[in-house]
Amino acid sequence: MLLDINSAFYSWIRGGMLVLFIYHFMFYLQNKGRLHKYYSGYLFCLVVYLVRDAFPQESMQLSYQYISFSIQYVGYVFFIHFCRELTKSYEYFPTLDYGVTLLSKLLLAIAMALVGVQYFYGYEVQKQVVAYTVPFATACAFYVFYLLSKVSRDQVYYLLFGSMFFLIFANISSVKMIYGEYFLLGFKVHRMFYYFLGAMVQSLIFALLIGNNFREILKKKQEAELQLLRQENQISKLKIIALKSQMNPHFLFNSLNSINNFVIQNKVEEASNFITKFSALVRKVLQSTNEDAISLADELTVVAMYVKLEQMRLKNSFTYETVVDTTVELESLQVVPLFLQPFIENAIWHGLSLQAGKKSVVIKIQQRGAWVSIQILDNGIGLNKGRQNTTKTKKSYGIAIVRERMELMYNKDIVIQLRDRMEDGEQGTEVLLVFPVKLRELEIL
């Protein structure tokens, strides 16, 4: 069986090499990785050379006389660049690596010259030229091995073993082709047996090396992605902390204005009562803003305390109501702290306080699947008139902070809309807030 070059043993190796070539070439087409490009080129040259004896036709054999030796040298060129890419020798030893690239160019020149020798002088002369160039090619191979040995990586030793195993066995087949079937070794096998065996062993080792290299690349990529995620989370947490520090003085400043009004009017009892409630509110606010998230129930408690203070300031001139749908679980639903207060504040300061007659603020809360919808309705002077009576900066400052905080905590999956109710033939302003039920996780991994 081993004497017949077209037996099952040799056919299986040819088929296996062809499958490996197709696999790595397809992988290269998808990922454009140089490692797979060079290795698929090397496998292609091996497959072309190994299938030579599978075509006994005279025309095919004559054609192979032009390429059978040249294709091996081209394969060596691909092999050299495969080794360079696998070990990154061009990064570690640029001077030695430059010598390797010169050798690869020289081998390519020899491959082209052998085609010319075949054309002008014939196959027998070409064989003689090869006999003289084999030692040079072997020396080039050992130079490459020397370069590889300087790279201190475990996979390099497997690369060296597979390469040297194939080099030795390929040279045995080449020598037998030139000097006879039983030169050196007299085993009853076809002279190409050693070449096939060397190619098979080397391919198995290289397949393991490439697989291991690919796993290392994936591992590094995953580590880089994890590190990036950690950095993004850390940045988000720092942004939220900064926004909280902006929110507290903004909220406190407007609340202190209310106390100042009582003092100016010399209403001592009202001021004392206001300060008592205000201190309780400040304590609650500070507790809330120390957390990344609080329950919607706690958020509504803070809003109710704030509204109570504003009702005192405006002598109970407006009513406040919260309408919660039965599908909403206030205690378990986590939200961004103090996200409602700026909208309620705007409704009171820039809407209700400037409106005569019966005034009200209503909060409507609903949940639809994975989304929460909150409407804030007032019957003040309306959004358009409110904009005319106050500066844009003063009015939108707190809302802008809330928007940024919510975008950070919900990955920008939020809706914040302000609309004048005059569009519906009613009085006042409507605020619509829509956000996911689930907050973004900002724990550092």
Residue pLDDT, tens place only, 425-442: 889 999 999 999 987 664
Does 186 share its domain with 262? no
pLDDT, average across residues 23-37: 86
Boundary (domain end) residue, out of 187, 211, 226: 226
Neighbours of 160 (CB within 10 A): 18
Q: Which domain holds residue 66?
A: 8-226
Q: Percent of the chain scored above 90 by pLDDT?
A: 19
Backbone angles phi and psi of 420, in degrees to 5: -80, 130
Does 46 share its domain with 170? yes
pLDDT in tens, 162-180: 888 887 887 777 676 666 6
Whether pLDDT at 70 is above 60: yes
Does 269 share its domain with 243? yes
Does 25 share its domain with 143? yes
pLDDT in tens, 195-224: 888 888 888 888 787 777 777 777 888 887
Residue 233's pLDDT band (boundaries 50, 70, 90)? low
Query: From CA 172, how far away is CA 184, in angstroms rounded?
Result: 8
Whether pLDDT at 247 is above 60: no
pLDDT, average across residues 32-56: 87
Does 283 share its domain with 159? no
Q: Quick check: 35 and 85 in contact, CB under 8 A?
A: yes
| In-domain check, residue 330 | yes
pLDDT, average across residues 106-118: 91
382 Ramachandran zone, left/alpha/beta (phi>0; psi -120 to 50): left
- What pLDDT was estimated at residue 394? 47
Number of domains in the chain: 2
| In-domain check, residue 72 | yes
Residue predicted with more confidence, 261 or 182: 261
CATH number at residue 318: 3.30.565.10
Does 204 share its domain with 232? no
| In-domain check, residue 3 | no
| Cα→Cα distances 43→48, 228, 284, Å | 9, 38, 72
Helix runs in 265-322, H state only: 268-289, 296-313
Nearest to residue 148, comparing CAs of 199, 209, 66, 190?
A: 209
Whether pLDDT at 75 is above 80: yes
Does 141 share its domain with 197? yes
| In-domain check, residue 2 | no
Which helix (H) or strand (E) segment is 362 a member of? strand 359-368
pLDDT, average across residues 245-258: 61
Helix runs in 32-88, H state only: 34-50, 58-67, 70-87
Does 198 share its domain with 316? no
- What pLDDT was estimated at residue 445? 36
Residue predicted with more confidence, 294 or 183: 294
- For residue 310, the one-letter residue type is E
Cβ within 8 Å of residue 282, ≥6 positions away: 252, 255
Residue predicted with more confidence, 249 or 193: 193
| In-domain check, residue 445 | no
Does 193 share its domain with 277? no
| In-domain check, residue 444 | no
229 Ramachandran zone, left/alpha/beta (phi>0; psi -120 to 50): alpha
**Lowest mean pLDDT segment, chosen from 38-42, 258-262, 310-314, 374-378:** 258-262
Does 247 share its domain with 220? no
- What pLDDT was estimated at residue 236? 57
Query: From CA 268, how far away is CA 275, in angstroms rounded?
Result: 10
Cβ within 8 Å of residue 158, ≥6 positions away: 205, 208, 209
pLDDT, average across residues 35-39: 88
Cβ within 8 Å of residue 116, ≥6 positions away: none
Q: Identify which of 16-20, 158-162, 218-222, 243-247 has the greatest average pLDDT.
A: 16-20
Q: Quick check: 301 and 341 in contact, CB under 8 A?
A: no
Does 201 share its domain with 338? no
pLDDT, average across residues 364-375: 93
Query: From CA 31, how far away is CA 41, in angstroms rounded?
Result: 15
Does 182 share its domain with 248? no
Whether pLDDT at 148 is above 80: no
DSSP code of residue 426: -
**Lowest mean pLDDT segment, chosen from 53-57, 210-214, 219-223, 241-245:** 241-245
Boundary (domain end) residue, out of 226, 259, 294: 226
| Cα→Cα distances 141→12, 71, 73, 77, 412, Å | 28, 16, 11, 10, 58
Query: From CA 206, how far away is CA 184, in angstroms rounded?
Result: 28
Boundary (domain end) residue, out of 206, 226, 246: 226
For all residues of the chain together, what is the average pLDDT? Answer: 81
* Partners of residue 430 on adjacent β-strands: 377, 419
pLDDT, average across residues 121-146: 80
The residue with tokens 């039965």 is 326
pLDDT, average across residues 241-257: 58
pLDDT in tens, 273-309: 888 888 888 788 777 767 778 899 999 998 999 898 8
pLDDT in tens, 378-411: 999 888 887 776 654 444 567 887 888 788 788 7
